[in-house]
Amino acid sequence: MFDWYQLANMKENRMIQIRRYLHQYPELSFEEEHTYDFILNQLSQLSCDIQSPVGRNGIVARFSGKGDGPAIALRADFDALPIDELTNLDFKSKHPGKMHACGHDGHTAILLGVAELIDEHRNNLNGDVVLIFQYGEEIMPGGSQEMIDAGCLQDVDRIYGNHLWSGYPTGAIYSRNGAMMASPDEFNIKIQGQGGHGAKPHETIDPVVVMAEFILSAQKIVSRTIDPVKQAVVSFGMIKAGDADNVIPDAAYCRGTVRTFDTEIQQHVIERLEKILEGLAVANDITYTFDYIKGYLPVHNHPQAYDVVQAAADQLNFRFNNAELMMVGEDFSHYQRVRPGAFFLTGCGDETKGTTAPHHSPYFDIDESAMKYAVSTFLKILELEQVIITK
């Protein structure tokens, strides 16, 4: 049997080198040209079949075995965020306003590390390993659906994904059977009233007051119309109206997000928001526009795939824990709609190394030693799936 942790440990410096290079040159979602070329160059040095571009600019590398084992896909994302980096890292972003603030540089380094180890042990392949390098995870509709439509899951039996997580301690593996991450929806609302002088409100239809009523009423949807044992979030992130203190504006605007784990609750929230707006329109003589954008599907782990992740962590003697339900979204869920799969988190938070800042923070960083734990887990998964024969 192979000591996957020891083999991954031997790749640690290599993965750190890759991660730090990518960290310096982040590219935003759907703009990842240099990153695409870099990954393609790394894979071209290995004995695998490469498909590119898949979708807009995704890459699929396939290592084929000689046996009758299954085809297992592993996925990494490689886009960055529109954030000015405020860390003091020697390898901080060289692109102002762009930063790898979610660990996708580490995800890419991890999957390239897996690729190199598979290439070195390709004679042990009993099935196929399909490595999916995905663009555009941070912006809906996400790159996963485009890659699926382009055939990235063709002849694939199951799929696994990993996310480095600063909120969990380095090296611990977290996953959850069934629902794990929410569907991150967005909405935009305009309330159209009739503006006028602030001293004569009776001559106006004040959209600010109506908007205030709407926001307060929307807060009752979760607390008073949804079963308390079920989860949902309705949050407002932007409210805008007017430009002067003595002028009642013609219109008010808001934007927000809805997070749910199942489609029935999602549809219930949409309908309740619409009913509140309809009632306010009748009561206040306003008109409105309601633009609701459904986000990624909820991440929902298949029971058997989840069991494989847990068994992999246990057999590697890593700390395995059940992840909490998370209201964040991930377009890995689109792969799971097509093939059974599981998503797991690898802790990369270490206070002594300053790597506990939250994701999407300008101070975000990862404990790079966490990457070898993710690589080990991926490879153990392949062994348990009988894609790699170690005896």
Mean pLDDT of the chain: 97
Q: What is the pLDDT of residues 346-366, one digit of tens each?
A: 999 999 999 999 999 999 999
Structure tokens at 309: 């992740």
Q: Is position 163 annotated in a ligand binding site? A: yes
Fold of 183-293: Alpha-Beta Plaits (3.30.70)
Question: Do the annotations mark residue 102 as ligand-binding?
Answer: yes
The predicted-structure confidence for 176-190, as pLDDT tens digits, reads as follows 999 999 999 999 999
What's the pLDDT score for residue 48?
97
CB 137 within 8 A of CB 41: no
- pTM of the model as a whole: 0.93
Q: What is the mean pLDDT of residues 360-375?
A: 98
Q: Quote the DSSP letter at residue 170.
A: T
The residue from 27, 79, 105, 350 that is catalytic is 79
Is 79 a known active-site residue?
A: yes
Q: pLDDT band for position 387 (50/70/90)?
A: very high
CATH number assigned to the domain covering 4-181+298-384? 3.40.630.10
Ligand-binding annotation for 360, yes or no, is yes
Smallest CA-to-CA distance from 286 within 241, 322, 342 is with 241
pLDDT digits over 34-46, tens only? 999 999 999 999 9
Domain-by-domain residue ranges, the chain?
A: 4-181+298-384, 183-293
Residue 390 has pLDDT above 90, yes or no: no
Catalytic position from the list 32, 105, 137, 367:
137
Q: What is the mean pLDDT of residues 290-301?
A: 96
pLDDT tens digits, one per residue of 230-288? 999 999 999 999 999 999 999 999 999 999 999 999 999 999 999 999 999 999 999 99
Task: Answer yes or no: are the C-beta atoms of 74 and 130 closer than 8 Å.
Answer: yes
CB 25 within 8 A of CB 99: no
Say which amino acid occupies 151: G
Does the structure show a pLDDT above 80 at 1? no
Of residues 233, 184, 191, the one with CA closest to residue 211: 191
Q: Please, which pLDDT band fits residue 172 given cuts at 50, 70 and 90? A: very high
Contact 376, 113 (CB under 8 A): no
Instruction: Read off the DSSP letter of residue 310.
Output: H
138 known member of a binding site: yes
* Mean pLDDT computed over 114-129: 97
pLDDT higher than threshold 90 for residue 166: yes
Residue 391 reports pLDDT greater than 80: no
